[in-house]
């Protein structure tokens, strides 16, 4: 089983920024580049489905026959959520980091849907640390959802709160709210309404519905939907459940009978959680395996992968390593380019090395300091955007010998950026693959948090165009930054800030 370990014990100029992703022209590069020096630059005889065929090994693969919808704006995302809640007949399954305590309308829609349809079941998976963090009014995600459990019963409403095993005992008591979340989180973002699944990196709070840019893709397929419902249910088996009870908080948390408490017995918890996840992934791989010869270039493939290294699950990590190797091998003989986005310039060392060593052109898209969610923060958090600029400058210095690696920053007045994913064009004007989901491709995504993403290999031109336009839409609000610009920006940064870099790279 691939990736599973049994444990023992400002001003923006869209045309300039988007020119190298135009459907009309190939990327413009200086004449003396590694790629232009290659002798064979003609079209590849292999299709994208052939190039990326190894990605289907060790993972469940779904052939999607219905059109996939690529959403572009937060408002569209919210409308789809409300539409899904209102029209679901069998089940609603929401997996997020948290639900904003102000989202009374969203919870009211869930309540109305449950009241209208007595056969409807609702499952919600959130992170325990983030989901129990209280706002200034003392409200939390758990307190917001507990009345649904009380009114409709556990048979119809289940609210799961995953708790990391990395924070237990005295450490859990010592670390305050917000800071305790650096140890590990439930970070998977998937929103399921019967056979429809919205894969995203967005959480369920007001800024993600208004002016915090993310990515969103709706996939309609009964088997694909069932995979994510079972994933959430499996994680729910080793998560706390929100029950009605405590008068002070409005709820109480309980683990299922016979399951180790991660805050009291983390070693046993990890063993049990690993066993449950390994069984789930093994079953999914067997049930949804495909033979290479059965895949046509007209098939749209959706390949979900999960990462839970604290629980011994490294499926997505292995999947990403394979992807980088495939792109590099292809680019040694043909022109190739890929775009990789993250909310923060905090890519893991292995991903940065994969980009630097790749024969392919790479463009990295991240939030500008002004579009960083911490830009208006108070206290020490206000320095986090400066720290990311320091890390960004160090990478630009490492890439100085390459003229086919660029860094672009999302900058849109009044907006923040939370998008993440990959668009791989190979040597074609339209993307041949995209990855979408929760990982930010940093240390946390690999080592600390629960993550899930979906690799989509389009089987038709319309979907390729939609994915391409999504990338162009993000780049239209982005600006290429140079090493000199980053050097100037970080000049004068206090030494103590640079000293915090190891903490930020591994915790944020």
Q: CB-based burial of residue 160 (10 Å sphere; 0-12 exposed, 13-18 middle, 19+ buried)? A: buried
Torsion angle in degrees (nearest 10) through CA of 137, 138, 142, 143: -80
* Catalytic residue list contains 194: yes
Phi, psi of 362 (to 5 degrees): -135, 135
Which residues are registered as beta bridge partners of 121? 91
E strands, 327-459, are 337-341, 361-367, 405-410, 416-417, 421-426, 433-437, 451-457
Distances (CA, A) of 23 to 260, 406, 426, 434: 54, 19, 13, 16
Say which of 63, 163, 194, 420 is annotated catalytic.
194
In contact, 456 and 68? CB cutoff 8 Å:
yes
Name the DSSP class of 29.
Answer: -
Q: CB-based burial of residue 206 (10 Å sphere; 0-12 exposed, 13-18 middle, 19+ buried)? A: middle
Say which of 63, 189, 393, 479 is annotated catalytic.
189
| Residue whose tokens read 């409200």 | 139
Say which of 63, 163, 187, 335 is annotated catalytic.
187
Distances (CA, A) of 323 to 215, 302, 315: 20, 15, 12
Q: Cα–Cα distance between 181 and 451 in angstroms, integer? A: 15
In contact, 440 and 344? CB cutoff 8 Å:
yes
In contact, 78 and 212? CB cutoff 8 Å:
no
* Catalytic residue list contains 420: no
Q: Cα–Cα distance between 167 and 356 in angstroms, integer? A: 35
3-state secondary structure of 471: helix
The end-to-end CA distance of the chain, in Å, is 30
Integer-rounded Cα Rg, in Å, for the chain is 22
Active-site positions read 187, 189, 194
């Amino acid at each position: 089983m691939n990736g599973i370990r049994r444990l023992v014990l400002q001003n923006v100029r869209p045309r300039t920024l988007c020119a190298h992703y135009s459907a009309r022209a190939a990327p413009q590069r200086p004449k003396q580049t590694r790629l232009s020096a290659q002798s064979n630059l003609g079209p590849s005889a292999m299709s994208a489905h052939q190039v990326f065929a190894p990605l289907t090994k060790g993972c469940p693969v779904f052939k999607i026959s219905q059109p996939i919808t690529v959403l572009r704006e937060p408002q569209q995302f919210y409308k789809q959520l409300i539409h899904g809640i209102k029209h679901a007949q069998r089940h609603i399954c929401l997996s997020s980091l948290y639900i904003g305590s102000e989202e009374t309308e969203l919870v009211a829609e869930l309540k109305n849907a449950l009241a209208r349809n007595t056969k409807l079941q609702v499952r919600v998976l959130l992170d325990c640390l983030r989901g129990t963090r209280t706002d200034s009014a003392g409200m939390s995600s758990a307190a917001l959802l507990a009345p649904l459990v009380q009114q409709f019963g556990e048979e119809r409403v289940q609210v799961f709160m995953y708790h990391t095993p990395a924070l237990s005992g005295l450490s859990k008591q010592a670390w305050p709210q917000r800071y305790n979340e650096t140890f590990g989180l439930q970070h998977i973002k998937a929103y399921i309404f019967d056979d429809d699944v919205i894969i995203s990196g967005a959480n369920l709070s007001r800024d993600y519905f208004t002016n915090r840019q993310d990515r969103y893709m709706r996939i309609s397929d009964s088997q694909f939907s069932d995979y994510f419902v079972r994933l959430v249910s499996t994680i729910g088996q080793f998560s706390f459940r929100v029950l009605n009870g405590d008068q002070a908080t409005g709820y109480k948390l309980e683990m299922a009978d016979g399951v180790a408490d991660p805050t009291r017995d983390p070693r046993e918890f990890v063993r049990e959680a690993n066993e449950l996840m390994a069984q789930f992934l093994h079953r999914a791989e067997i049930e949804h395996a495909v033979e290479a010869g059965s895949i046509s270039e007209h098939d749209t493939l959706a390949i979900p992968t999960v990462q839970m290294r604290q629980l011994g699950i490294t499926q997505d990590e292995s999947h990403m390593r394979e992807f980088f190797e495939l792109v590099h091998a292809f680019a040694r003989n043909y022109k190739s380019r890929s775009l990789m986005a993250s909310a923060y310039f905090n890519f893991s060392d292995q991903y940065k090395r994969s980009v630097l060593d790749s024969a392919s052109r790479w463009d990295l898209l991240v939030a500008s300091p002004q579009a960083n969610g911490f830009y208006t923060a108070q206290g020490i958090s206000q320095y986090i955007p400066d720290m990311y600029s320091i890390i960004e400058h160090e990478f630009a210095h490492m890439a100085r010998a390459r003229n086919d690696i660029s860094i672009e920053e999302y900058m849109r007045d009044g907006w923040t950026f939370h998008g993440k994913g990959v668009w791989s064009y190979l040597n074609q004007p339209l993307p041949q693959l995209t990855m979408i989901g929760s990982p930010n491709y940093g240390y946390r995504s690999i080592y600390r948090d629960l993550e899930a993403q979906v690799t989509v290999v389009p089987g038709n031109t319309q979907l390729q165009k939609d994915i391409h336009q999504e990338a162009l839409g993000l780049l239209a609000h982005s600006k290429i930054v140079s090493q000199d610009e980053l050097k100037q920006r970080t000049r004068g940064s206090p030494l103590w800030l640079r000293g915090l870099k190891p903490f930020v790279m591994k915790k944020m």
